[in-house]
Structure 1
Amino acid sequence: MVVTARLEDDGFITGRLGEVFVDLVDTLVSEFESVDLLQNLTEFTVELLPIAASGVMLADPHGSLTVVASSHESARLLELYELQTQEGPCLDCFRLAQPVVNTSPSEAVERWPVFTAAARGAGYASFHSLPMQLRDKTIGAMTLFCQSSSTLSTRDVKLGRALAAAATIGLLQERAGREKDLLSGQLQEALNSRIVIEQAKGVLAERNGVTVEAAFHALRRHARGRGQSLRGVAGEVIAGKWNGIFTP
């Protein structure tokens, strides 16, 4: 195939693969969307591997797979059919957290009779599945569809796994970034609250002639007794809404 011939060109490998991998892990751009990244993954695999179509499924927090991207509509429909019948290479790949590749035609019929018949009806003679995986974390699987009864070389499998891993890194990096942003926001909120509370403690201590510790206990009592947040009550104290109801 033309793609295979191009892959033997070191210049192409250095140039095009470099671009592809950067694209798959670059999630720091403001317009980043996970679905777009996975759509690129399916298209890149068709471009770089001797296959005709590709589809990706990701697992939700409960471990249920969902079709999220495909290079062709026929691949998307087959992936949906696989979920419907609960039979196919992508499901096995995800459950085993291992590649399912180079299955013989007879073995495919034996393992996935319904899916194999549907795939062949759609014009695909063979199919393979690679995990969306980073070390021991598997978040989904990618199925590769071929129009001939072909086998993937060791090189093809390694490249396919590398592409899937790069996309997985991109997804996990973006997810970690969101979680980090959330945590940072929560930490900043905590710091801001603490500043307001410390100021309110000082105001209460000075006005009542008590220790800062006693003022803090009074502040907490008032907040809890009225079902208000500690920061909210502290803000009212600082704003001058003190009316003498605090009794340390």
Structure 2
Amino acid sequence: MSERQLTEAFVELADTLVDDFDMMDFLHQVTVRCAQVLDVSAAGVLLTDQRGELRVVAASTEQTRLLELLQLQTDEGPCPECFHTGRPVAVADLSTTAHRWPRFTAEARRSGFASVHALPMRLRTEVIGALNLFGAEPGALDADTIRLGQALADVATIGLLQARAIRHRETLAEQLQTALNSRIVIEQAKGVVAERRKIDVDQSFILLRGTARTSNRRLSELARAVVDGSAIV
């Protein structure tokens, strides 16, 4: 990753901090940029809802999203542990965690992942979620990469908290709840497009997101239109 590309990544994330930025698109871009900049296979973001419970809000691939969901369903894995402790979790070799997180480890290895790192999304003492980084090969991320990953997680956290400040009549919890509700509609739309186009769900999401951007529509708005049949992608 060149210095120019790294700068562009931070600028791109910072540029979303405007009054009407699309939160779902922002969170997805965080995962994509983290995977690119940190040279990992995939990334995912879990955030707390208004009841303080973790929810999956973004993932760079569909496979990663399913793994994140499994962590929540079983309450095991690096992301829940990172969130509850507020500290980074590093697993250089998933083959060593079969007893620690049996179901997560088995599914992650079946999905082709061999290492995982989780970084807290926090501002001072407030932890609002965690960033998961998956690697296809065993090995720990070096200290510089961890610091860079934490910086990206911090930028994402500041973005979410900035949204709360801009929209002073809304709380962060309400915004996150809206994002979670939008996620359901987006998942439905991904399925509709995948079935119609005969493509996989990752490709359908790329198509949905690209269409939303080119038509200057919010991703969640387009997804609702696809589900109710008023738009075709």
Scaled by the length of structure 2, the TM-score of the pair is 0.69
Which protein, 1 or 2, shows the higher relative CO under an 8 Å CA cutoff with sep ≥ 6? 2
Q: Determine the structure 1 residue equivalent to 2:18.
A: 29
Equivalent of residue 101 in structure 2, options 112, 116, 136: 112
Q: Determine the structure 2 residue equivalent to 1:86.
A: 75
Partners in 2 of 1:182 and 1:168 — Cα distance?
17
Q: How does 1:20-99 map to 2 (within 5 A)?
A: 20-29=9-18, 31-99=20-88
Partners in 2 of 1:102 and 1:116 — Cα distance?
11
Partners in 1 of 2:101 and 2:77 — Cα distance?
6
Cα deviation code 1:131-150 (max 9, x no counterpart): 11122111100111111112
Paired residues of 2:88 and 2:120 also in contact (CA < 8 A): yes
Q: Determine the structure 2 residue equivalent to 1:17.
A: 6
**Superposition CA RMSD, Å:** 1.8
Deviates more, 1:25-34 or 1:114-123: 25-34
Equivalent of residue 143 in structure 2, options 139, 154, 158: 154
Residue segments in structure 2 that go unaligned for 5+ positions in a row:
172-233
Question: What is the letter of the counterpart of residue 145 of structure 1?
Answer: F
Partners in 1 of 2:14 and 2:161 — Cα distance?
10
Q: Does 1:166 align with 2:166?
A: no
Q: Does 1:124 align with 2:104?
A: no
Partners in 1 of 2:94 and 2:167 — Cα distance?
44
Query: Percent of counterpart pairs with the same letter?
Result: 47
Cα deviation code 1:79-121 (max 9, x no counterpart): 0111111111000000001110135445422211110001001
Larger Rg over CA atoms: 1
Paired residues of 1:102 and 1:152 also in contact (CA < 8 A): no
Paired residues of 1:130 and 1:143 also in contact (CA < 8 A): yes
Partners in 2 of 1:93 and 1:85 — Cα distance?
15
